Structure 1
Amino acid sequence: MKFPLSWLRRHLDTTATLAEITATLNRIGLEVEGVEDRGAALAGFRIAHVVEAAQHPNADRLRALKVDPGDGRLLSVVCGAPNARAGMKGVLALPGAFIPGTGITLKQGEIRGVTSEAMMLSAREMGLGDDHSGILDLPAEAPLGASYVAWAGLDDPVVEISVTPNRGDALAIRGIARDLAAAGLGTLKPLPEPKIVPAYPAPLRWEIADPRACDHVLGRGIRGLRNGPSPKWLQDWLVAIGLRPINALVDVTNLFTYGLGRPLHVFDVAKVQGGVLTMRMAREGESLAALNGKTYALTPEDGIIADAAGPEALGGIIGGEPSGCDEGTTECFIECALFDPVRIALSGRRHDIRTDARARFERGVDPALPPLALDLATALMLELCGGEASEVAAAGTPPAWQRSATLRFERLAGLGGAEVPADAAVAILERLGFAVQQRDASQVTVAVPSWRNDIAQAGSVETVLDQAATLPADRARAAAEGCAVVEPEADLVEEVLRIRGLDTIPPVSLPVAGLVPPPALTPQQARAGLARRVLAARGMLDCVSFGFLDQRVAALFGETPEALHLENPIAADLDQMRPTPLASLLLAAGRNAARGFPDVALSELGASYLDPSPEGQRQVIAGLRAGHTPRHWAEPSRPVDAMDAKGDALALLAALGLPMAAVTVTADAPGFYHPGRSGVLRQGPKTVLARFGEIHPRIRAALDLAGPAVGFEVFLDAIPEPKRRKKGAPDLPAFQPVRRDFAFLVDAGVTAEQVLRAARGADRQLVAEVAVFDRYAGEKLPEGKASLAIQVTLQPREATLTDGQIEAVADRIVAAVAKATGAVLRA
């Protein structure tokens, strides 16, 4: 938001300097982005009179001038401007002056044998434009010897501030002046209240066909006007803030947009067809030829102003060329309306139109200002263009903007962090326009002024929904739920502290929670990250897939309850929550195989769904290997088997801190695994830690996966968190371990796990590790029997084991295995 200092002084009666004003703006939260002082670089230039202009004796395109700078001297100036002539007045730069348009510092010199003691300047050389066709030609009444900056009004700094999205009132110079006055930097000047006497009925009529397009609108005609250039003071203000003056009618609307934050629009009555301007939503196929020279294809979500011929403006955003006012306009119609801020923002974003009107309407304008703004604009247009005004045409109902807010004085310190006396707080609110309705020792209730749309009205969702009845249901609900949690008291605290000065709030360090910061990740998050890294290190590619499948595919991996069926799936083949992430990996492997990559190793950390309850959603990390193992120098490639999946699952459990001695294997894997080549990893009889095995051929056939495939699922929620223990010295036994092999003849139905458990329990002090290294069944063994070979590692702690001690432990191991399984030690 830019504004010249002189424009601010039209609203603020103050003697403050520019430095004081900018410092106060920063202090009250209207951060100053920059100050442009165009006159600073031109301060040394003065108005001079060309007394004599003669042809240069040695150059055809130069003239030798005698110039009076106003101090009684006559200076010799060599000038190449074609318009240099005797009797004219221009701008003179003396030696030592910096010329901003050329970037040089002027020095006295000699040009083709003629001394040049100064320089007559063009607009481009002064940095005031692109005109370099000649030196600046000033009117005869320009005061000789006076400062050009002061005479031209260029000693008017332009201030640019940053406005936060909630402060729509600060997009008006009057709103900025009001804040400065409340901060003690002057007095806010009252707005005049002109009395407009209507001379004829309104030339156009308003009609609100759809309340979504507009809530309330006023309009007034002016006939017999003469539209032309606006006066210099108005053009200077507009140019200073970066706007291009167009004509008096349009320039007045820009004046009100920036001055009062009240966008207006003018229609040429002669160009409006049908005599009625209708507020409605656009229709399919309609377009608008806008004032910026572009044509926009409108949608049914755009609110427009239309006549009998079609769209004439995109309401609250930009007007249209067909009814625009130009120098031929003799009768205009002023529009002053209120629009839905959300719809303005959506339409502006949809069409990528950025205008000053949109910026103000989407933040909310003063709903009580339209009658006065219309009168003020009418009075100024009559003053500049002449003519006579009509009656006011209106449609819609003025909004009920009146609301109140309560401030508890103790919240200034409790929430704002600054001690402010109650009287001082109330005085600040009153200076900002809040009217006291009720006050006691602990709190004050104030009426919120109409221009402060950012001070919310607290209430229930249902109340806000009633007020937003014209909005779409989904957007009304979202807006209501957002508004219902807003506390206007916090806004009042902010206003008091802001005007008192943000720099007066004492800085307070955040409390130190502890010397050691808490971990950034929860144990569950850390475990999930570790699991993904472990599988990545084992050569698996981490995948992210949808949590839902085709119901027919999901049925291959378990039950598909109706409660997990999606009513509105994103695709027809993604209509059921998946029972396991392994199904998603199998589909991904099938797609890879169809494209020539049958050998894959994939993993995914995701959810499996048993029912809609929170307990029915389990966090699972699944892995899949399909095709053949990777080629390696130490061993040839081979088809993957169930032991690959078991190794992956056990490695993952070990990395997550689970003691491997507590893990047992059972053969009750679900039906999508091969019944003879799969298993379940458990901790105790009830806790299922993981499942692994070869994928059933029936499942592979249903999913068009030709090659072998093995997979596993580790249930992270079932793995107990490892106990935190203080790190001590590493366990490094001083004595050599002893390894002994045992081969047992067991019934074919005896599992290796039974033998291993019995061997471990034979002597828990010495037996450090037990592992199976061979299983044989066939020739030379009785029918129904198998040979199971294990290796037992004995780790002494106190002394090296003697042969007798070793034999004693071996006997205990044989006895324990025989008792648990009926096994016999093979000779």
Structure 2
Amino acid sequence: MKFTLSWLKEHLDTDRGLEEIAERLTALGLEVDGIEDKTAALAPFTVGHVVRCEQHPNANRLKICHVHTGAGETQVVCGAPNARAGMKGVFAPAGTYIPGTDMTLKPGVIRGVESNGMLCSEREMGLSDEHTGIIELPEDAPVGAPFARIMGLDDPLIDIALTPDRGDCAGVRGIARDLAAAGIGDLRDLAVDPVAGRFKSPIDVKLTLPKGAQIACPLFVGRYVRGLKNRPSPRWLQDKLRAVGLRPISTLVDITNYFTLDRDRPLHVFDADTVAGGLHVRLSKAGETLDALNDKSYTLDDQVCVIADDDGVLALGGVIGGQSSGCTGDTENVFVECALFDPLRTAASGRKLAIDSDARYRFERGVDPDAVIAGMEQATRLIVELCGGEPSELVVAGAVPGWRRTLSLRPARVEHLGGVAVPLDEQVRILTALGCTVAECKDGNLRVEVPSWRSDIHGEAELGEEVLRVHGFDNIPAVSMPRLGALTRPAITVKQRASTQVRRLLD
């Protein structure tokens, strides 16, 4: 799970430094696998302004760009088709190490024309595989400013290794909640304002799963949005995705990726104009196929949960979408999916088809069953804000499965389990900060209602572990094994004693 420090602080109000946050994450069981700070590596790359651009006299595909770097003007020979006068790009002077090509720039002469430096593409910068043209920066980017700062790449990237039981921390907000409980700041409020539907959705959803398989998709919430424009996403959203290694595609796709990473809430968006009739959530039929969004084709057996229309399979539930209903730059009407899929079936389908996706990673660990409608409302609001359009009323098929668990915790049990006494009020504070509802009973025990996002807590031992984890395992005192008293005399049998006495008499 990767996220930047600034992204974390959108959910966590804190002034703590990177080192302290990283140490506390590991202490909480969210082990920090690595921290990447690109500032030093990208320091030589700055904003350059192409003041003049001329055709190379000896090569039809090359141009001579005169680049203002903030420290003067330099000449660069460039082969990018989008190089032109007036644009701003990423300038690398001679002597700069180019990570994407593993080379160090040197001054040179290209087809008889001197070149000092480079205007870089995303592949040359090591940001993506895009190399059809050089990077174009915003018109208001200050000439000579560090590229890393302009693109938000000066933000430390934190990578944590999640254990399978902590699916609630597969989103930045869950990580922030744990840190807040540990005293590293306060969890910021998250507004969930319902979006008023203006018409009835022309696409309906039916759950047609056989008896015994209804758990494959117990709840499906959808919404039709018409008249939108699927533009490139705004810079803040692109920067977020690039920082964690994802390539921005379009506003609609980028929004789904953002919610997956930010709220641990996978979404899918269908181009509504490609859907024939209504949507059916069912099990696949043996031999059905899907051309997926990863450019691969899959043949299904009869055990995969699929979303289909009247013509066939459109997506594999909780795993991946299909090309035929994918969104493009021409998409004007969409149907947004926010659903629950069974962790076991999702994991089995993903393994069987060898598909690894961000959605599968989260659904097979379990997502918050009580946040499906809230996730749809939040996603709809952002879609309308960035793409325009008019939302329909919600389409709801199924119901939230029962998740409520009320457990009992004996405060003394925490010390018995962990060897450290945690005051009662601190136990209550920790559990409350983690999202539990806690009440003190007359017998002195705590009645704890587990939050919907913690599917891993099932008993008193897990509650005790949560208290100890946040209180700090490092607070458990080191206790040596008790020393044994005087050595006991070895026991001998009657036969051995008689044998010893006989030997003594014979001596």
What TM-score results when the alignment is normalised by the length of structure 1? Answer: 0.53
* Alignment partner, residue 81 of structure 1: 78
User: Which one of the candidate residues 475, 493, 502 is aligned to 2:473?
Assistant: 502
Cα distance in 1 between the residues matched to 2:394 and 2:22: 41
* Equivalence map 1:469-508=2 (5 Å): 488-508=459-479
Give runs of aligned pairs for residues 606-617 of structure 1, distance below 5 A. Answer: none
Residues 67, 76 of structure 2: 8 Å contact kept: no
Q: 1:324 to 1:148 in 2, by over 3 A?
A: closer
> 2: distance between equivalents of 1:136 and 1:277?
41
The residue number in structure 2 matching 1:119 is 117
Inter-partner Cα distance in structure 1 for 2:47 and 2:353: 49
Distance in 2, Cα, partners of 1:335 & 1:139: 33
Cα deviations by residue, 1:621-659 (Å, 9 ceiling, x for unpaired):
xxxxxxxxxxxxxxxxxxxxxxxxxxxxxxxxxxxxxxx
SS in 1 for 2:418: coil
Who is 1:31 aligned against? 31
Amino acid aligned to 2:468:
L
Secondary structure of the corresponding residue to residue 415 of structure 1: helix
Q: Indicate conservation of the 8 Å contact 1:122/1:131, yes or no.
A: no
Q: Which residue of structure 1 lines up, in the alignment, with residue 274 of structure 2?
A: 271
Aligned-pair distance for 1:135? Answer: 6.2
Contact 1:62/1:78 (CA < 8 Å) preserved in 2?
no
Q: Which amino acid aligns with 1:436?
A: V
Change (3 A) 1:297 1:498: same
Q: Which residue of 2 aligns with 1:771?
A: none
For residue 415 of structure 1, report the CA deviation from its aligned partner.
Answer: 0.8
Assess if the C-alpha contact under 8 Å between 2:34 and 2:160 holds in 1: yes
Distance in 2 (CA, whole Å) between partners of 1:115 and 1:209 is 69
Q: Which residue of 2 aligns with 1:238?
A: 241
Structure 1 residue 30 displacement after superposition: 0.3
1:44 positional shift: 4.1
The match for 1:365 among 364, 367, 391 is 367
State the AA in 1 paired with 2:288.
Answer: E
Range with greater deviation from structure 2 (429-438 or 341-350): 341-350
- Residue-by-residue CA offset, 1:768-809 (whole Å, 9 max, x unaligned): xxxxxxxxxxxxxxxxxxxxxxxxxxxxxxxxxxxxxxxxxx
Shift of 1:103: 5.4
| Corresponding residue for residue 348 of structure 1 | 350
Q: 1:530-583 CA distances to partner (integer Å, 9 max, x unpaired)? A: xxxxxxxxxxxxxxxxxxxxxxxxxxxxxxxxxxxxxxxxxxxxxxxxxxxxxx
| Preserved CA contact (<8 Å) 1:78 1:115 | no
> Conserved in 2, the CA contact under 8 Å of 1:49 and 1:69?
yes
Closer, same or farther in 2 for the Cα pair 1:420/1:347, shift >3 Å?
same
**Partner in structure 1 of residue 437 of structure 2:** 435
Could you say what secondary structure the match of 2:394 adopts?
strand
SS at match of 1:42: coil
Larger radius of gyration: 1
Higher relative contact order, structure no. (Cα contacts within 8 Å, ≥ 6 residues apart): 2
What's the CA shift for 1:177?
1.0
| Contact 1:62–1:79 (CA under 8 A) maintained in structure 2 | no
CA pair 419-277 structure 1, distance change in 2 beyond 3 A: same
Runs of 5+ unmatched residues, structure 1: 457-487, 515-723, 729-827
| Fraction of identical pairs, as percent | 51
Q: Distance in 1 between matches of 2:452 and 2:227?
A: 35
Task: Say whether the 8 Å CA contact 1:66–1:74 is kept in structure 2.
Answer: no
Determine the structure 1 residue equivalent to 2:143.
144
Q: Which residue in 2 is equivalent to 1:7?
A: 7
Note if contact 2:153-2:243 (Cα within 8 Å) is conserved in structure 1.
no
| Candidates 388, 392, 409, aligned match of 1:386 | 388
What does residue range 337-736 of structure 1 map to in structure 2 within 5 Å? Answer: 337-439=339-441, 442-456=444-458, 488-508=459-479
CA distance in 2, matches of 1:449, 1:163: 19
Deviation at 1:361? 1.4
Report the secondary structure of 1:263's partner residue. coil
Q: Deviations over 1:129-164 (max 9, x none)?
A: 456677655444221232222112111222111111
Indicate conservation of the 8 Å contact 1:61/1:80, yes or no: no
Residue equivalent to 1:202: 201
Q: Distance in 1 between matches of 2:243 and 2:340?
A: 28
C-alpha distance 234-63 of structure 1, shift in aligned 2 (>3 A): closer
Letter of the 2:311 counterpart: A
Name the counterpart of 1:590: none
Using a 3 Å threshold, how does the CA distance of structure 1 residues 271 and 56 change in structure 2: closer, same or farther? Answer: closer
Would the aligned equivalents of 1:412 and 1:493 in 2 still touch at CA under 8 Å? yes
1:221 aligns with 2:220: no
Separation in structure 2 between the aligned mates of residue 351 and residue 227 of structure 1, nearest angstrom: 31
Gaps of 5+ in 2: 486-494, 500-507
Displacement after TM superposition at 1:429 (Å): 0.9
Structure 2 SS opposite 1:410: helix
Q: Which residue of 2 aligns with 1:537?
A: none
Sort the Cα spacing of 1:129 and 1:366 in 2 relative to 1 into closer, same or farther, 3 A.
closer
The question of 1:324 aligning with 2:326 is answered yes
Cα distance in 1 between the residues matched to 2:52 and 2:205: 64
Residues 584-623 of structure 1 deviation map (CA, whole Å, 9 limit, x = unaligned): xxxxxxxxxxxxxxxxxxxxxxxxxxxxxxxxxxxxxxxx
Do the aligned partners of residues 441 and 119 (structure 1) sit closer, same or farther apart at CA in structure 2, a change above 3 Å counting? farther
Q: Which residue of 2 aligns with 1:784?
A: none
Q: Using a 3 Å threshold, how does the CA distance of structure 1 residues 5 and 87 change in structure 2: closer, same or farther?
A: same
State how far apart, in whole Å, the 2-side matches of 1:364 and 1:498 are.
21
Report the CA distance between 1:301 and its aligned residue.
2.4
- Aligned residue for 1:342, secondary structure, equals helix
Residue 297 of structure 1 corresponds to 299
CA-to-aligned-CA distance 1:71-93 (integer Å, 9 cap, x gap): xx535x45332467765544445
- CA positional deviation for 1:268: 2.2
- Taking structure 1 as reference, are residues 725 and 59 closer, same or farther at Cα in structure 2, changes over 3 Å only? farther
CA distance in 1 between counterparts of 2:267 and 2:61 reads 51
Matches within 5 A, 1:796-811: none
Cα distance in 2, alignment partners of residues 372 and 199 from structure 1:
18
| Residues in 1 aligned to 2:323 and 2:404: alpha-carbon distance in whole angstroms | 37
Asked whether the equivalents of residues 42 and 149 of structure 1 are also in contact (C-alpha less than 8 Å), the reply is yes
In the TM superposition, residue 32 of structure 1 has moved relative to its aligned partner by 0.7
The alpha carbon displacement at 1:306 in A equals 2.2
Measured after TM superposition, the shift of residue 455 of structure 1 is 0.9
Corresponding position of 2:166: 167
> Matched residue pairs, number?
486
TM-superposed CA distance for 1:216, in Å, is: 1.7
1:507-547, Cα deviation, whole Å (9 max, x unpaired)? 45678999xxxxxxxxxxxxxxxxxxxxxxxxxxxxxxxxx
Indicate conservation of the 8 Å contact 2:67/2:75, yes or no: no
After alignment, is 98-107 or 371-380 more displaced? Answer: 98-107
- Aligned partners of 1:133, 1:248: CA distance in 2, in Å? 21
- Aligned residues of 1:78 and 1:111 also touching (Cα < 8 A): no
- Please state how far the C-alpha of 1:188 moved relative to its aligned partner: 1.3
